[in-house]
Amino acid sequence: MSMQEVEIREALRQAIDEEMAKDKTVLLMGEEVAEYDGAYKISKGLLDKYGPDRIVDTPISENGFTGLAVGAAMAGLRPVVEYMSWNFSFVAFDQIISNAIKMHYMSGGRFKVPLVLRGPNGAAAQVSCQHSHCVEATYSNYPGLIVLAPSTAYDHKGLMKSAIQNNNPVIFLENELLYGIKEEIPKEEFYVPIGKANVAVEGSQLTIVSHSRMFHFCKQAVKELAAEGISCELIDLRTIKPLDLGTIAQSVRKTHHLLCVEEGHYFAGISAEIAFQISEHCFDELDSPVARLCQKETPMPYSEHLEKHTIPSVESIKQKVKDLLQ
């Protein structure tokens, strides 16, 4: 298998390009995705290749173009919608919650809504609270949505291709600070299955579960802890919903300790859900209560120092692991 080194933004571009090339019903729409190549350059070159009928610049109206995409999906197309920030999706909340995820149910299965909603989620670099909220817990609360949050170039490409081919609405959560990361992926076509977590690092003393940008923080923490003689197993969720509880449970039965790390908030967060499910299904296997490390219960500050203090860090992850193993 031949490999190529690409930025995560290029992995996403390749995924969309490959699916558009094989299926004429796939289209991309959003603010500046055409003439400007996208705010994050993920659609670079696609307008020239596919034209304005399939690479569609929209007005600054998330509610309007999300509704347009829902209708297009119901009519047989496969729209991919880009939000400049997932925080802006709240303007289109009614279209997503009342229409996209309920049409299949309300129509008795007559309508399908093969729709991918994608864009950067969580904090970037000093973009303050109106551009930094993590939305995965919010959208995971609604039946009918698939929620994906990859961390690597391989998973961004493979999961995006799987999302576009899926017949359900998919929330695809990226992170602006990951777009420029370079990693190797195969040149040949590949897919990553939805609903399957990845054991990224095997270990024996404690399990860490994370996703998206926080996965990279955890990976560095696990590496540094290994140098100190502490063996951690690291699981990258990749799919938030449906949750791959089996992979997490299998690891916990081996390590008997679990730490969940996320950029979202503590209350009613993804970590809270995982903690409950593991406590429910693996209670007798735990040597300590499930621990969580999340964003502090405050809107994201603008100050760089306060921003870093608000979310988990490599050091705080390491300290939490040591506290659990005492």
pTM recorded for the entire structure:
0.97
Q: Last residue of some domain: 186, 210, 234?
A: 186
Mark whether 40 and 180 lie in a shared domain.
yes
Express each pLDDT in 60-70 by its tens digit.
999 999 999 99
- Give me the helix-helix angle, 270-281 and 245-255, nearest 10°: 60
At 127 the pLDDT is: 81
Mark whether 9 and 98 lie in a shared domain.
yes
Tell me the CA distances in angstroms from 113 to 78, 96, 253, one per residue in order. 8, 11, 38
Catalytic (active-site) positions:
62, 131
Mark whether 202 and 230 lie in a shared domain.
yes
The CA distance from 301 to 123, in Å, is: 10
* Closest by CA position to 200, among listed 214, 182, 215, 188: 215
The CA distance from 163 to 148, in Å, is: 9
Question: For each of the chain's 326 residues, which pLDDT tens digit applies?
Answer: 899 999 999 999 999 999 999 999 999 999 999 999 999 999 999 999 999 999 999 999 999 999 999 999 999 999 999 999 999 999 999 999 999 999 999 999 999 999 999 999 998 888 888 888 999 999 999 999 999 999 999 999 999 999 999 999 999 999 999 999 999 999 999 999 999 999 999 999 999 999 999 999 999 999 999 999 999 999 999 999 999 999 999 999 999 999 999 999 999 999 999 999 999 999 999 999 999 999 999 999 888 889 889 999 999 999 999 999 99
Mark whether 34 and 115 lie in a shared domain.
yes
Q: Has residue 114 been placed in a domain?
A: yes
Mark whether 245 and 146 lie in a shared domain.
no
The CA distance from 142 to 103, in Å, is: 13
Q: How many domains does the chain have?
A: 2
Q: Has residue 193 been placed in a domain?
A: no
Mark whether 207 and 319 lie in a shared domain.
yes
The CA distance from 252 to 247, in Å, is: 9
Other CB atoms within a 10 A radius of the CB of residue 104 amount to: 18
Tell me the CA distances in angstroms from 189 to 18, 124, 157, 261, one per residue in order. 8, 30, 10, 31
Q: Which two tokens stand for residue 175?
A: 């992170």
Check which CATH number belongs to the domain holding 292 and give it.
3.40.50.920
Q: Which domain holds residue 256?
A: 198-325
Q: Which two tokens stand for residue 240?
A: 């938030």
The β-bridge partners of 198 are: 236
Mark whether 82 and 128 lie in a shared domain.
yes
Q: Has residue 192 been placed in a domain?
A: no
At 129 the pLDDT is: 85
Q: Last residue of some domain: 153, 186, 219?
A: 186
Q: List, in order, residues 6 or more apart from 91 with CB less than 8 Å away.
A: 61, 62, 63
Mark whether 216 and 165 lie in a shared domain.
no
Q: Are strands 55-57 and 3-7 parallel, antiparallel or unpaired?
A: unpaired
- The share of the chain scoring above pLDDT 70, in percent, equals 100
Q: Has residue 191 been placed in a domain?
A: no
Mark whether 29 and 122 lie in a shared domain.
yes
